[in-house]
């Protein structure tokens, strides 16, 4: 356990500034540096509860030379390590599971982000443990109070995993007709969450009326992508070189057979965790694109690995594949979600350097959060009619050419891999771009 914690800490904390900050991380930094009263107002206008941002607010005030981004990411790493200790103490002490968990590329990816994912993981596993204890013995008062407290804290961190776990536990207690054990935690959590109930209701309304971003038009194909991306992320991570993808395909029948055999003698927690995961998956599908579903269901990752850890040779095979995924991560290669690599600082530096006069920036990148770039360049952009330079930032091979201009230069960012281009052909994209982003400078005639 000690050796695995050391290895995991090295993977979590080495070069935390490796990846550029992306849109949601900028939101974390902008929100957490505000006074506490303003933090509450900001997240009320968004769709998040306040606990994570308040904790990061105080964490950032700790002395140290690190940047705010590195501090926010280090905060996530601390909760990832705390989750490892929690899982070992409460859920599984099998050395094979501890090894898999410590090397998991999926955990390392989300454990190095300045977001609330690992705090959700910690509180989710804690709430599941005490919820499972309450289902086993509805008369156990300690389980009732600990489940209520951990679930309430999870509600103050993120709605989706909290509600998924609460609904799953309530369903099993209802099935067992344990009325007191069903009603008492709900009453305690309602009282604890009373200041934020109206905001949660408003968040529900936004989710119900949301139109999730889709990468392909046929709904069946879009759902298939979602159902495939989640196990790929959990099993191989999200920085997958070609040889790791091939190895995962070859290993998939063995993994499926192992999971099928597990259903014959399932662990007693499997029905509860499976129901919570299903509820969370449905909720995530109403709000986020397929690439962000694994982050919302991170509480299910350790239980998935517990099932895979039952065969030593499978653990060894996965560890070998994960070395390739981790290598790609730390070399910024083969990312399935190119949004984690968006070089906003480099793009802003080019525009600031190469624009001696008034400039305009045209964004032609649907589904991409470019707010960090537009905020940084706000001082440069103008709507004056005598603009001399026009910059166009496009994605997916889209190229918008302003009338009355001539192109001067073009910069490409984030090259697509061979696997990416194969998926474009499979999804029948109209364009076949070589890079995820292209920045073109035009001069007015």
Ordered DSSP codes for 213-264 = --SSS-HHHHHHHHHHHHHHHHHH-SB--HHHHHHHHHHHHHHHHHHHHHHH
- Of 18-22, 78-82, 124-128, 325-329, the poorest mean pLDDT is in 18-22
What's the whole-number mean pLDDT along residues 185-189?
96
Query: Residues 29, 68: contact at Cβ < 8 Å?
Result: yes
What's the whole-number mean pLDDT along residues 92-98?
94
Query: Residues 52, 116: contact at Cβ < 8 Å?
Result: yes
pLDDT of residue 382: 63
Band the pLDDT of 25: cuts 50, 70, 90: very high
What's the whole-number mean pLDDT along residues 57-70?
93
Tell me which of 249 and 371 has the higher pLDDT. Answer: 249
Band the pLDDT of 11: cuts 50, 70, 90: very high
CA 96 to chain centroid: 25
Residue 395 has pLDDT above 90, yes or no: no
- Of 105-119, 261-275, 428-442, the poorest mean pLDDT is in 428-442
What percent of the chain is predicted at pLDDT more than 90? 61
- Of 200-209, 237-246, 324-333, the poorest mean pLDDT is in 200-209
pLDDT of residue 168: 97
- 136-171: buried (b, 16+ CB within 10 Å) or exposed (e) per residue? eebeeeebbebbbbbbbbbbbbbbbbbbbbbebbbb
Residue 209 has pLDDT above 90, yes or no: no
pLDDT of residue 61: 92
Closest by CA to 103, choosing from 320, 333, 330, 331, is 320
410-423 tens-digit pLDDT:
888 988 887 788 87
In the structure encoding, which two tokens stand for residue 417, read together? Answer: 């891999």
In the structure encoding, which two tokens stand for residue 241, read together? Answer: 């070189």
Distance set, CA 295 to CA 10, 13, 298 (Å) = 22, 19, 5
pTM of the model: 0.92
Band the pLDDT of 60: cuts 50, 70, 90: very high
pLDDT of residue 383: 63
213-236 tens-digit pLDDT:
677 777 788 788 888 999 999 999
In the structure encoding, which two tokens stand for residue 198, read together? Answer: 């109206």
pLDDT of residue 91: 96
**What secondary structure letter does DSSP report for 381?**
B
What's the whole-number mean pLDDT along residues 185-193?
96
pLDDT of residue 396: 64
For residue 210, the number of C-alpha atoms closer than 13 Å in the C-beta half-sphere is 18
Residue 189 has pLDDT above 90, yes or no: yes
Give φ, ψ of 243 to 5 degrees. -65, -30
């Amino acid at each position: 356990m000690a050796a695995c914690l050391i290895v995991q800490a090295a993977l979590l904390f080495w070069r935390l500034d490796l990846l550029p900050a992306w849109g949601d991380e900028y939101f974390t930094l902008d929100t957490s540096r505000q006074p506490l009263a303003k933090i509450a107002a900001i997240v009320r206008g968004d769709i998040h509860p306040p606990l994570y941002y308040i904790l990061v607010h105080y964490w950032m005030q700790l002395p140290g030379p690190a940047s705010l981004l590195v501090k926010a990411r280090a905060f996530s790493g601390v909760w990832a390590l705390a989750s490892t200790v929690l899982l070992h103490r409460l859920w599984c002490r099998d050395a094979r599971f501890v090894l898999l968990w410590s090397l998991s590329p999926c955990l390392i990816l989300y454990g190095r982000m300045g977001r609330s994912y690992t705090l959700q993981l910690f509180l989710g596993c804690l709430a599941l443990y005490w919820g499972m204890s309450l289902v086993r013995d509805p008369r156990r008062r300690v389980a009732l109070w600990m489940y209520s407290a951990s679930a309430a804290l999870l509600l103050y961190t993120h709605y989706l995993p909290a509600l998924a776990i609460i609904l799953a536990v309530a369903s099993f207690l209802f099935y067992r007709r344990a009325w007191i054990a069903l009603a008492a935690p709900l009453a305690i959590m309602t009282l604890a969450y009373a200041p934020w109930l109206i905001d949660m209701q408003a968040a529900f309304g936004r989710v119900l009326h949301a139109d999730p971003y889709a990468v392909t038009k046929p709904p069946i194909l879009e759902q298939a992508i979602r159902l495939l991306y989640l196990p790929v992320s959990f099993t191989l991570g999200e920085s997958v070189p070609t040889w790791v993808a091939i190895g995962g395909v070859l290993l998939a029948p063995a993994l499926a057979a192992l999971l099928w055999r597990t259903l014959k003698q399932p662990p007693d927690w499997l029905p509860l965790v499976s129901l919570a995961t299903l509820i969370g998956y449905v909720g995530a599908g109403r709000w986020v694109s397929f690439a962000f579903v694994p982050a919302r269901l991170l509480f299910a990752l350790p239980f998935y690995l517990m099932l895979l850890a039952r065969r030593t040779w499978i653990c060894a095979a996965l560890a070998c594949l994960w070395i390739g995924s981790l290598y790609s991560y730390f070399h910024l290669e083969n990312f399935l979600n190119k949004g984690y690599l968006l070089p906003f600082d480099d793009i802003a530096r080019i525009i600031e350097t190469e624009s001696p006069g008034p400039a305009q920036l045209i964004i032609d990148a649907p589904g991409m959060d470019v707010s960090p770039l537009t905020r940084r360049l706000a001082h440069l952009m103008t709507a004056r009619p005598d603009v001399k330079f026009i910059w166009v930032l496009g994605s997916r091979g889209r190229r918008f050419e302003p009338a009355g201009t001539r192109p001067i230069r073009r910069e490409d960012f984030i090259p697509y891999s061979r696997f990416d281009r194969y998926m474009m052909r499979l999804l029948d994209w109209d364009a076949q771009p070589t890079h995820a982003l292209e920045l073109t400078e035009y001069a007015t005639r």
